[in-house]
Amino acid sequence: MPTKVTYREALNQALKEEMQRDDRVFLIGEDVAYYQGAFKVSKGFLEEFGSRRVVDTPITELGFTGLAIGAAMGGLRPVVEVMTFNFAILAMDQIVNNAAKIRYMSGGQLSVPIVIRGPGSAAHQLGAQHSQSLEAWFCHVPGLKVVAPATPHDAKGLIKSAIRDENPVIFIEAQLLYPMQGEIGDGDYTIPLGIAEVKRAGTDVTLIAYSKMLLVALEAAEKLAQEGIQAEVVDPRTLRPLDLTTLAASAKKTGKVVIVEEGWPFAGLGAQIAESLYRRVFDYLDGPIVRVTGRDAPMPYARNLEDAAIPDVDQVVAAARQVLYRR
Amino acid sequence: MLLIRRFEERTAEMYALGKIGGFCHLYIGEEAVAVGAVDALQPDDYVFSAYRDHGHCLARGSDPKRVMAELFGRATGLCKGKGGSMHLVDAARRFLGGYAIVGGHLPLAAGVAFAVKYRGGGQVVLCFFGEGAVPSGACHETLNLAALWGLPVLFLCENNRYGMGTPVERAVALYSDVAQNAAAYGIEAGRVDGMDVVAVRDAVGKAVEQVRTRQRPYFLEAVTYRFLGHSMADPAHGHYRTKAEVDEAKKRDPLLLLRTRMLSERLATEDDFKRIEQEVAQVVREAVEFADASPVPPVTALEDGVYI
């Protein structure tokens, strides 16, 4: 029987099971131990695993991320919790110049099996410095893998694969997803990195969306169904490496594509996905791919402005109508 | 030390001939620090370095042929030509690199020490860096974490007086005693004459022993001097220091100091030095020949090794 748990609980279970399975796995980050995680993902960990394996850090992202990268070089399997990905900016040098490159620069002598995880994207009125979708930054870098699951089931299966992967993996969660409930698989399952999933089958238009935006796309698909439009919703789940085979198959089938992302439009991830699809299935498309993105501004605080800055269901529905020429 | 000196001299020649490209930072003048320090380690201890890393790699026992081949960008290089001068790695000798963002490798060294401690191992991590890294955030965050968590790292600051062209007194607030930066974190610190290889070995030996037994970091400042420019693009004295200053420093050439001492203490004869000189010349000649005869990496391998 599948059980229903929150996204937070799914992560908690997965991390716990991985730490039970492998002594080399440890959790390190700000307030992960005594506070039990800023978003309570590591609830109960200190009690079960002790402070050797659940390591509270000072507020020094560069220092503890770099240290964890070194620990991975030294044979451990660190899971770094960044309280939010906004703070990972402080550790960008360590992530980009060290984690991503050490294997390559050393001619394959060294490897960095590390997971850097935490919430990305906006929550509610947290202001410009705490409301950013930075996945495109990480996706740009060869040597990194980037994962952004939307459901509890995917979160559990993907974080396990990320921990067992030999490469550095950036694992982007979302604050607003933590309380969302969903059915998860039984026991110790994994979902391979780099595999997209069709979350809703359809024939008329393809909606590509990941993380929080998957929920927006699914809701939009419901609305479109009421108009007799059958939207297919595809979640890449892993953003690098991107499962172009699955995305292209859907695009080829429907001939119409909308990409939904919360991040900024210029040089955003959707631009890359669109370019990749144009190269693969241009001849099968009935018209240009349409992107629905966050607005091109730092996140405003005022509730109405923030709402306007983030893609919503109506925008996705409108975009679908646009590619279907049904204005 | 002589091997490093001659190796670096030939490296400069090969650079001038266009056999070696990119940024290339020579270690001439600072040899006693790497040689004395690495000599105090066990084979299973770990070593990190920054971008002026040829000397540390050779001191750790890496094959000069494979080091030179890496500088030449050849498939037979330590890193298959993917690393280059600033990113030498020899994992088998636990020489973990070769990092070219100033201060950026200090957290890595602390992380390997964290892994050692986590597993209950007895190894020590020796981390070389220049005084130019001392004001960086990476350095201070690492010192704090290493002290906080009692990590077995020896931070070995090679103070060669200049971060590129900026003298230490214009870069480090506590310039007259750089190790005080570590003392601020409760890390025991010392200073040694980095031109005296025996003094370095003794100081590092004591420090390593202390790090190993007490499971606490240690910060050692080795006062040294680089005889050549910052990189191959920089003349020996440039605009930021005088020829007189360089000439003065050369009076305390670490090779000269050791030679004088060994002769006066009758530990070696002139003939011994001649023989060593010939042996080293042979090793360096063979390294260059090996590198020059080695194939370049295949272009088909360009994207290999990005991921496992």
User: Using one digit for the tens of pLDDT, what is the confidence trace for A162-182?
Assistant: 999 999 999 999 999 999 999
Of A48-52, A53-57, A228-232, B231-235, which gets the smallest average pLDDT? Answer: B231-235
Alpha-carbon separation of residue A242 from A148, A237, B159 (angstroms) = 11, 8, 47
Q: Beta strands A231-235 and A197-200: pairing type?
A: antiparallel
Domain boundaries, chain A: 3-184, 197-323
Provide the CATH topology of domain A3-184. Rossmann fold (3.40.50)
The b/e string for A26-58 (b: 16+ C-beta within 10 A; e otherwise) is bbbbbbbbeebbbbebbeebbeebeeebbbbbe
Cross-chain residue pair A69–B108, CB shorter than 8 Å: yes
Q: What distance in Å separates the CA atoms of residue B123 and residue A220, rounded to the nearest whole number?
A: 58
DSSP code for B293: H
Cross-chain residue pair A74–B114, CB shorter than 8 Å: yes
Question: Residues A130, A140, A197, A219: which is the catalytic one?
Answer: A130
Cross-chain residue pair B106–A66, CB shorter than 8 Å: yes
Cross-chain residue pair A108–B305, CB shorter than 8 Å: yes
User: What residues in B contact A167, CB-CB < 8 Å?
Assistant: 307-308
Q: What distance in Å separates the CA atoms of residue B39 and residue B85, rounded to the nearest whole number?
A: 23
* B82, B118, B141 ranked by CB distance to A60: nearest: B141
Smallest Cα distance from B100 to chain A, Å: 9
> Please, which residues have CB within 8 angstroms of residue B248's CB and are 6 or more apart in sequence?
none
Q: Are B292 and B72 in contact (CB under 8 A)?
A: yes
> What mean pLDDT is predicted for residues A71-94?
98
User: What residues in A contact B107, CB-CB < 8 Å?
Assistant: 62-67, 69-70, 94
- Mean residue pLDDT of chain A comes to 97
State residue B237's pLDDT score: 73
Helices A152-164/A7-21 angle, 10° precision: 30
* B91, B104, B148 ranked by CB distance to A94: nearest: B104
* B79, B96, B118 ranked by CB distance to A107: nearest: B79
Interface of A with B in 242-261 (CB under 8 A): none
* B77, B82, B108 ranked by CB distance to A70: nearest: B108
Cross-chain residue pair B118–A57, CB shorter than 8 Å: no
* pLDDT confidence bin for A1, thresholds 50/70/90: low
Provide the CATH topology of domain A197-323. Rossmann fold (3.40.50)
Q: What distance in Å separates the CA atoms of residue A135 and residue A213, rounded to the nearest whole number?
A: 13
Residue B2, SS3 per DSSP: helix
Cross-chain residue pair A74–B111, CB shorter than 8 Å: yes
pLDDT by residue, tens only, chain B of 308 residues: 999 999 999 999 999 999 999 999 999 999 999 999 999 999 999 999 999 999 999 999 999 999 999 999 999 999 999 999 999 999 999 999 999 999 999 999 999 999 999 999 999 999 999 999 999 999 999 999 999 999 999 999 999 999 999 999 999 999 999 999 999 999 999 999 999 999 999 999 999 999 999 999 999 999 999 999 888 888 877 789 999 999 999 999 999 999 999 999 999 999 999 999 999 999 999 999 999 999 999 999 999 999 99
Q: What distance in Å separates the CA atoms of residue B2 and residue A313, rounded to the nearest whole number?
A: 71
Overall size of chain A counted in residues:
327
Q: Are A315 and A222 in contact (CB under 8 A)?
A: no
User: Which residue blocks in chain A are alpha helix, DSSP H?
Assistant: 7-21, 45-49, 61-73, 92, 102-105, 135-139, 152-164, 212-226, 244-254, 269-281, 303-309, 313-323
H helix or E strand, kind and range, residue B42: none
Chain B interface with A: residues with Cβ < 8 Å: 46, 77-83, 87, 89-91, 96-99, 101, 104-116, 118-119, 137-138, 141-142, 144-145, 148, 303-308
> What are A73's two structure tokens?
């070089």
Count the Cβ atoms, other than its own, within 10 Å of residue A61.
25
User: What residues in A contact B138, CB-CB < 8 Å?
Assistant: 62-63, 66, 93
Q: Are A27 and A81 in contact (CB under 8 A)?
A: yes
State residue B233's pLDDT score: 84
State residue B236's pLDDT score: 76
> What are A220's two structure tokens?
């939009």
User: What residues in A contact B95, CB-CB < 8 Å?
Assistant: none
* B83, B104, B142 ranked by CB distance to A107: nearest: B83
**Please, is A185 exposed, middle or buried when counting C-beta atoms within 10 Å of its C-beta (0-12, 13-18, 19+)?**
middle
Mutation choice for A interface testing from B118, B142, B294 by most A CBs within 10 A: B118
Peptide bond preceding A241 in cis form (omega within 30 of 0): yes
* A57, A62, A73 ranked by CB distance to B112: nearest: A73
H helix or E strand, kind and range, residue A36: none
Q: What distance in Å separates the CA atoms of residue A313 and residue B41, rounded to the nearest whole number?
A: 63
Q: How many CB pairs under 8 A join A and B?
A: 141
Q: What distance in Å separates the CA atoms of residue B24 and residue A198, rounded to the nearest whole number?
A: 51
Radius of gyration in angstroms for the set of CA atoms belonging to chain A, rounded to a whole number:
19
> Cα dihedral angle (B11, B12, B14, B17), rounded to 10 degrees?
170
Smallest Cα distance from A51 to chain B, Å: 11
The predicted-structure confidence for A116-141, as pLDDT tens digits, reads as follows 999 999 999 999 999 999 999 999 99
Reply yes or no on whether A261 is catalytic.
no
User: What residues in A contact B141, CB-CB < 8 Å?
Assistant: 60, 62-64, 66
Q: What distance in Å separates the CA atoms of residue A253 and residue A54, rounded to the nearest whole number?
A: 47
Triad B219, A51, A181: Cα angle to 5°: 130
Instruction: List the CATH code of the domain at B2-296.
Output: 3.40.50.970
Q: What are phi and psi for residue A79, nearest 5 degrees?
A: -115, 115
Smallest Cα distance from B133 to chain A, Å: 14
Domain boundaries, chain B: 2-296
Smallest Cα distance from A53 to chain B, Å: 9
**Is the whole-model pTM more than 0.95?**
yes
Cross-chain residue pair A106–B89, CB shorter than 8 Å: yes
Reply yes or no on whether A173 is catalytic.
no
> What mean pLDDT is predicted for residues A76-81?
98
Tokens 């100033």 sit on residue: B102
**Please, is B248 exposed, middle or buried when counting C-beta atoms within 10 Å of its C-beta (0-12, 13-18, 19+)?**
exposed
Question: Residues A18, A30, A61, A81: which is the catalytic one?
Answer: A61
User: Which residue blocks in B171-222 are alpha helix, DSSP H?
Assistant: 180-183, 197-214
Residue A327 has pLDDT above 80, yes or no: no
Q: What distance in Å separates the CA atoms of residue A292 and residue A315, rounded to the nearest whole number?
A: 7
The predicted-structure confidence for A180-201, as pLDDT tens digits, reads as follows 999 998 889 999 999 999 999 9
Count helices and strands (H / E) in chain B. Answer: 11, 8
> What mean pLDDT is predicted for residues A220-232?
97
